[in-house]
Amino acid sequence: MAQYEVVIGLEIHAELLTKTKIFCACTTAFGGHANSHCCPVCLGLPGALPVLNEKAVEYGIKAGLALDCRIPERCKFDRKNYFYPDLPKAYQISQYDEPLCLGGSVTCETETGLQTIGVTRVHLEEEAGKSVHSGDNILGSEYSSMDYNRAGIPLIEIVTEPDLRSPQDAKAFLEHLKRVLQYIEVSDCKMEEGSLRCDANVSLRPLGVQELGTKVEIKNLNSFRSVERALQHEVTRQSQLYEAKQQVEQETRAWDEARGVTVSMRSKEESHDYRYFPEPDIPPVHINSLWVEDLRSGLPELPLSRKERLQRQYGLTTYEAEFLVSQRSWSDFFEAVVQEFDQEKMVVNWLMGDVSRVLNAREETLPQSQLDVSGLVELLRLIDTGTISGSQAKAVLEAVCATGQPPADVVQTLGMQQISDEDQLAAMVDAVIAQYPGEAQRCREGDAKLIGFFVGQIMKGSQGKANPKMVNELLRKKLKL
Ligand SMILES: [Zn+2]
């Protein structure tokens, strides 16, 4: 392999989080009875006219800006013609020569360090329907049914330059891209529900050669792991062909997850095979530059710069900052909590430790959970002031997440407050000394080990609520140690 360079480019499709479809008012909700989210427009009935959803354009522009693209003043829609049953009109409304966004780049962390990957374009298009086969797959099925609920959901297609140099980098890039799209809240990027999908172009060339080798497109990559595995398999396959002095065919191959191989689907189609032509029912779209600037200024801080800032501003380790930026909700939560409770290390430790553990056990995300910023602040203050112990706090956290009660109420209900009242503790100490006069005498005569015995009795008697540090001090005073 040493004498070949791997060249990878990705095409990523992400469903946009609009409430309605791109050219009609049908809902984009996932699931539902087959063909219940449809109308004449998304079913492609004759005479039905598409109307562009402004929100889809807005989300597309936001994605383009987050990927550092230029937003031309004008874009237009084209028809991409191909015949397949999941496409009710037998063409897909997409963008061809005048896309929404052009020429960006993304810097991301990979195993080999920071890398900048060029973004050729980002364009808008409509989603196709879904074939439901009677068997496991199309081959060997007796029949297939069509569900058009998905048809017409807005998509962005992000096309990268062939700048990636290894399957590991491709996976790292894709994970970073997913995070960016989630940060700017334009897509939920759920690969398991198909709202983020990826095709990869891969070729090899001898080291030092500029010209690109014959490329193969791989489809059907529906997890980050399969992206890496499929590319690895394809790199090996192509290098073996070159070693054996055989041709690599330009073709489209499908990843077979179960067998761990790519299989030939068809020879690669060229864009002219699709007979693109301008969509006559949607006029060209003029993008107001003031709108673009408005969207740009509304973009949140993106994950990579946020990670660097969190480390710098709060003295966090790389590992801690990486944890917090892995989801925007975690870093937002962290920064809101430290506004009110300024012990950053304690906050991040609780988030990475017990809060994560409790949420995982409940199968909830942070936004879904009943723990809010003021709840965690209150809990941390209760620990910090010695009102409850660390181990009691874990039980309080579980109760807060289960019931949504404020921590102080939980402490009250469970009768957990530590007893730190000096008079009350002194009475306990007197009582236990009176109960064990022999031990008290030996203690006074210098057997300091017996202090532990007395502390234990008091903790037991108070069901663990007595403040152990204060009990210790009181005992020493009364037994003159
Ligand atoms: Zn519709």
How many angstroms separate the alpha carbon of residue 42 from the centre of ligand 1? 4
Rounded Cα distance between 261 and 236, Å, is 11
How many angstroms separate the alpha carbon of residue 237 from the centre of ligand 1? 43
How many angstroms separate the alpha carbon of residue 316 from the centre of ligand 1? 49
Average confidence (pLDDT) over 154-171: 97
Average pLDDT over the chain reads 92
How many angstroms separate the alpha carbon of residue 323 from the centre of ligand 1? 40
62-101 confidence digits (pLDDT tens): 999 999 999 999 999 999 999 989 999 999 999 999 999 9
* Stated length of the chain: 481
How many angstroms separate the alpha carbon of residue 27 from the centre of ligand 1? 8
Task: Kindly write down the DSSP assignment for every residue of 329-346, as one continuous string.
Answer: HHHHHHHHHHHHS--HHH
Output the pLDDT for position 461: 84
Average confidence (pLDDT) over 419-441: 90
Rounded Cα distance between 309 and 331, Å, is 11
Counting residues of the chain whose pLDDT is more than 90, the rounded percentage is 71
How many angstroms separate the alpha carbon of residue 37 from the centre of ligand 1? 7
Output the pLDDT for position 1: 52
Q: Which pair of tokens denotes residue 222?
A: 């529906």
Q: Picking from 82-91, 187-196, 264-273, 372-381, which range would have the lowest pLDDT averaged per residue?
A: 264-273
Q: Could you give the domains of the chain?
A: 4-293 (no CATH), 301-413 (no CATH), 422-478 (1.10.10.410)
Helix/strand/coil (H/E/C) assignment for every residue in 18-32: CCECCCCCCECCCCC
**Helix, strand, coil % over all residues of the chain, rounded to 5:** 40, 20, 40
405-422 confidence digits (pLDDT tens): 999 999 888 877 778 888
Output the pLDDT for position 2: 58
pLDDT at 326 over 90: yes
pLDDT at 378 over 80: yes
Output the pLDDT for position 414: 82
436 neighbors 454 (Cβ within 8 angstroms): yes
4-50 confidence digits (pLDDT tens): 999 999 999 999 999 999 999 999 998 899 999 999 999 999 999 99
Output the pLDDT for position 337: 97
Output the pLDDT for position 152: 97
Average confidence (pLDDT) over 427-433: 92
**H-helix or E-strand containing 73?**
none
Average confidence (pLDDT) over 238-263: 90
Query: How far is C-alpha 67 from the geometric centre of its chain's CA atoms?
Result: 17
Q: What is the pTM of this model?
A: 0.84
CA distances from 66 to 119, 270, 387 (A): 11, 30, 46
Average confidence (pLDDT) over 451-463: 86
How many angstroms separate the alpha carbon of residue 153 from the centre of ligand 1? 9
Instruction: Report residues near ion ligand 1: CB below 5 Å.
Output: 24, 26, 39, 41-42
Average confidence (pLDDT) over 381-385: 89
How many angstroms separate the alpha carbon of residue 80 from the centre of ligand 1? 19
pLDDT at 401 over 70: yes
How many angstroms separate the alpha carbon of residue 86 from the centre of ligand 1? 15
How many angstroms separate the alpha carbon of residue 25 from the centre of ligand 1? 6
How many angstroms separate the alpha carbon of residue 14 from the centre of ligand 1? 19
How many angstroms separate the alpha carbon of residue 44 from the centre of ligand 1? 9
How many angstroms separate the alpha carbon of residue 303 from the centre of ligand 1? 35
Average confidence (pLDDT) over 361-368: 95
Rounded Cα distance between 374 and 358, Å, is 17
How many angstroms separate the alpha carbon of residue 122 from the centre of ligand 1? 24
Rounded Cα distance between 61 and 95, Å, is 14
Output the pLDDT for position 141: 87
Counting residues of the chain whose pLDDT is more than 70, the rounded percentage is 99
Average confidence (pLDDT) over 454-470: 84
Rounded Cα distance between 91 and 275, Å, is 10
How many angstroms separate the alpha carbon of residue 43 from the centre of ligand 1? 7
- Amino acid identity at 69: C
Output the pLDDT for position 103: 97
How many angstroms separate the alpha carbon of residue 436 from the centre of ligand 1? 83
92-136 confidence digits (pLDDT tens): 999 999 999 999 999 999 998 999 999 999 999 999 999 898 988
